[in-house]
Structure 1
Amino acid sequence: MRQTLLATSLLGLSAIMPAYAADYVIDTEKAHAFIDFRIQHLGYSWMSGRFNDFSGTFSYDAEKPEASKVDVDIDVTSVDTNFAERDKHLRERFLETDKFPKASFKSTSFKQQDDGSLMVTGDFTLHGVTHELSFPVQKVGEGADPWGGYRAGFVGETEFTISDYGINVDMLGPSSQVVYLTLSIEGIKQ
């Protein structure tokens, strides 16, 4: 009788206790996460690249996705367009990485959308300037991995105008002022 009462009490207590989101570390060590970008080149074609060095964490609970969080720090000096001279030019003239070597995104809210995606809003800092940025995020999947861990993956795309972040270099024409950014992350549950 006592055991039944104790079990019933614990079950009742667990029903009123809040569920907590699981914490994940973004897996950048084995190239399971990417921050890619593209920008028009003179309005004739696209230049694409990525940031090779970044780190971050996120929290996610499928039962309460609005409680999610994400925090990403980017080493802007790791910009890579597969052309060393252009990368040097981007570091020196556009990104001024000697003054602004880091960028970051820190979420402030997540909202469930009718299509199943999440709208994430947060503070994006680039070139020493911070602005609020919102974009939709889709869950790619989650589950056990072959090494005894648990993983979850998401992808989101957004765009921003470089002049909003104090980058006022216009060598590639007006169509080259918008950067399209894709964040593809896979995290390992902690």
Structure 2
Amino acid sequence: MSTTTEFSELTGDYVLDTARTRIGFVARHTMASRVRGRFGEFEGGAHLDGEDPSKSAVRLVIHADSVQTGSARRDAHLRGRFLHVDDHPDITFTSTVVEQTGGAGFEVTGDLTIRGVIRPVTVHFELTGVENDPRGAFRIGFTGHLTLDRTHWGVDWNAATTILVSPKVLLELDATVIRRIASPLSGS
């Protein structure tokens, strides 16, 4: 992907390219190892304003039952005892403030909802590139990260869990969005 495009050329409405996006996490387990995982199903979109990034907005919905760590037993445990996916099937993020932090860096602050608990967080993003693909679709790539304390959202099982699994979880996002093209029939 090229990064030579002017920010003003990025203005538009975008949908998340789920085939080119990865939403992962890393948590320290039993002091010596790390557990890496990802969510396999999600959707979202963004409105980007290249002239005034503060007018941009982002929305992301992660299907909590799509958590994958490479261990079916651990995944079932995460779905049931930690994420309570039967009662809270989605993890959502809705931006409230977007700030350009210099160059291709952005801070996106918004409301993160996990297990019905809503808390503000700030995700640090870096624009990694833009491209027109062979089919004419305009894509933008971003990478982002956020460290959160899962216990602030009640993502815990029992007191021993905090000893075995660190409450700090690193979320890693490699996202690609595709500009929506207005349909001549729908006007959108």
Common fold, TM-score beyond 0.5? Answer: yes
Q: Following TM superposition, by how much is the alpha carbon of 1:174 offset from its aligned partner in structure 2, in angstroms?
A: 6.5
Q: Equivalent residue for 2:185?
A: none
TM-score, normalisation: structure 2: 0.84
Shift in alpha-carbon separation, 1:153–1:116, aligned structure 2, 3 A:
closer
Cα offset, 1:69, TM superposition: 1.1
1:68·1:110 contact (CA, 8 Å) conserved in 2? yes
Query: What's the CA shift string for 1:138-177, capped at 9, x where partnerless?
Result: 0011121111111111111001111100123242517611
Aligned length: 170
* Partners of 2:123 and 2:41 in 1: CA distance: 22
Match of 1:147 among 130, 135, 145: 135
RMSD (Å) for aligned C-alpha atoms: 1.8
Amino acid across the alignment from 2:108: V
Alignment partner of 1:75 out of 57, 63, 82: 63
Output aligned runs, 1:17-166, within 5 Å. Answer: 21-28=11-18, 31-114=19-102, 116-166=104-154
Tell me: CA distance 1:147–1:123, structure 2 relative to 1, closer, same or farther (3 Å). Answer: same
Structure 2 residue ranges without an equivalent (≥5): 1-8, 181-188
Seq. identity, %:
35
Mean Cα deviation higher: 111-120 or 131-140 = 111-120
Unpaired segments ≥5 residues, structure 1:
1-18
**Structure 2 residue matching 1:173: 3-state secondary structure:** helix
How far apart, CA to CA, are the structure 2 residues paired with 1:68 and 1:157?
19
Could you tell me which residue of structure 2 aligns to residue 4 of structure 1?
none
- Give the number of the structure whose alpha-carbon radius of gyration is greater: 1
**Does the CA contact (< 8 Å) of 1:121 and 1:133 recur in 2?**
yes
Give the TM-score normalised by structure 1.
0.84
Check conservation: 1:111, 1:120, Cα contact below 8 A: yes
Deviation at residue 127 of structure 1 after TM alignment: 1.1
1:183 aligned onto 2:177 = no
- Which whole-Å CA distance do the structure 2 matches of 1:22 and 1:90 have between them? 37
